[in-house]
Structure 1
Amino acid sequence: MIDVLVLDVNETLTDMEPLRDGFEAAGLPRHTLDEWFAAVLRDGFALTAVGAYAAFRDLAADLLTAHLVAAGLEPTEETVGNVLSGFTRLPLHTDVAPGLQKIHEAGIRIVTLTNGAAAMSENVFKNGGILSFLEHRLDVSVPQHWKPHPDAYRYAADVCGVPVERMALAAVHPWDIDGARRAGLQGYYIDRRKTPYPQAFREPDLTVPDFEALAVAISR
């Protein structure tokens, strides 16, 4: 049993597919989203590895500017801002609200922890009907270490006032699960796409297809 469930946000809770419309409107191929998002994570991880920090939006804007320039497009502030503002309008995956409601009703505290900005997701959570389930909405701007650095998870534990071993992280990203487990948390892998879990990472404590299944597994 756990006291606190920590949730990753981007892709774990939110469906990022609508962001492709913003890339297309900016003149970029829709598949650019995948390369761009991976590059944002890469650069955030790289800075954390050398003891430095940059905000998600700053890295996201720089890399989007680079994509626009490489495509021969003008990287105006308006264009970049329009694409990035799409994060504030993303839908939740359909399993998220019913699953989190059951977890909340079971008395498990729920917080979010994102490498992005917590403020960007407020309307997403409000529109998706889960804002009231969330005790805290946290991001890495305070510890200034991106997940999967252990300080990010320890920061969440400090805010919640519980030891890390009484917490679990739920995410679709194996690197996030691995980081949480190395920091002392349990790791719950949300495997919507039936993707084999990498053998190089520490195994999750639990693998489920979605949050409704997670609710059944941890609310007994």
Structure 2
Amino acid sequence: MDRPVIVLDVNETLSDLSALTPAFEAEGAAGALAQTWFAATLRDGFALTMVGESRSFAEVGRPVLLGLLAHVEGLLDEPADAADAILRAFAELPPHDDVAAGITALAAAGHRIVTLSNGAGANARALVERAGVADLVERHLGVEDTGVMKPHPDAYRRGLASLGVEPGDAVLAAVHPWDLHGARRAGLRTAFVDRTGAPWPAVFERAEFAVPSLVELAGVIHM
């Protein structure tokens, strides 16, 4: 029996969002705005998906960022210039330390590996290139491929259909409980990468697997 296809979320699962804090601080903004901006961008992206509209992460994220920066006192650049600098930093985030070893272990165990992001597939490709494991990841799927943002079920189903893979033959690995819940509703198996130790939200169905990092993932996923 073939091993399941591993579908990796990108933002915060593979990328280290904490590295965005200095980009905000360099513009005279509070570093905590990085998480505020990311969450607000997802919120607006989810809202657009709910009403049947598709926008890229960048299309949603830039106006959200401009709105936040407009309220920063002592901003060191014009809001548009500051937003450009921060978005460049977001596109160049480093991978978490476990990404290379985790993906290498999954590939060695015989899994096909793809990424599925609410961002652009090109950004995911560049991220795994920075991790040094680009040759081990088969495809990088983004909103431009699925037409909707996760956790809409069609994001997972369309992404897998483009690979010729049934949902039940894939495992989504992610740090976000909402993402894992959406994948489960779409028929995928799920693996929680618990990077923070935060309590699991009771409203979401628990993942089938839970690991502290990507390194352990290959050892717990069964056929």
Equivalences, count: 220
Structural mapping, 1:135-150, within 5 Å: 135-150=138-153
C-alpha distance after superposition, 1:111-132 (max 9, x if no partner): 0000011112333211211211
Aligned residue type for 1:87: F
Partner of 1:19: 20
Q: CA deviation at 1:157?
A: 1.1
Asked whether the 8 Å contact 2:66–2:80 carries over to 1, the reply is no
- 1:64 match: 65
SS in 2 for 1:33: helix
When normalised by structure 1's length, the TM-score is: 0.94
Deviations 1:118-160 (A, max 9, x none): 1123332112112111100010123321000011001121121
Q: Secondary structure at the match of 1:6?
A: strand
Residue 185 of structure 1: aligned partner: 188
List structure 1 runs of 4+ shifted beyond 3 angstroms: 72-77
| Secondary structure class of the residue paired with 1:193 | coil
Q: Is the 8 A contact 1:69 1:75 kept in 2?
A: no
Contact 2:115-2:124 within 8 A present in 1 as well = no
Taking only aligned residues, the RMSD between alpha carbons, in angstroms, comes to: 1.6
**Residues 87 and 120, structure 1, Cα contact 8 Å, conserved in 2:** no
TM-score (norm 2): 0.93
**Alpha-carbon separation, structure 2, partners of 1:2 and 1:45:** 32
Question: Matched residue of 1:142: which SS?
Answer: helix
Deviations 1:5-52 (A, max 9, x none): 100001000111111111111221011111111100000001111111
Partner residue of 1:108 out of 107, 111, 118: 111
The gaps in structure 2 that reach 5 residues or longer are none
The correspondence of residues 1-16 of structure 1 with structure 2, limited to 5 A, is: 2-16=3-17
Q: Mapping of 1:18-167 within 5 angstroms?
A: 18-72=19-73, 73=75, 75-167=78-170
Which stretch of structure 1 is more off in the superposition, 132-141 or 67-76? 67-76
SS in 2 for 1:148: coil
**Equivalent residue of 1:62, what SS?**
helix
SS of corresponding position for 2:191:
strand
How far, CA to CA, are the matches of 2:136 and 2:167 in structure 1?
20
> 2: distance between equivalents of 1:12 and 1:190?
7
Identity of aligned residues (%): 42
Structure 1 unaligned segments of length 5 or more: list them.
none
Question: 2:171 and 2:78 mapped to 1: Cα distance?
Answer: 40
CA distance in 2, matches of 1:94, 1:194: 17
1:75 and 1:125 mapped to 2: Cα distance?
Answer: 32
Alignment equivalent of 1:194, drawn from 194, 197, 200:
197
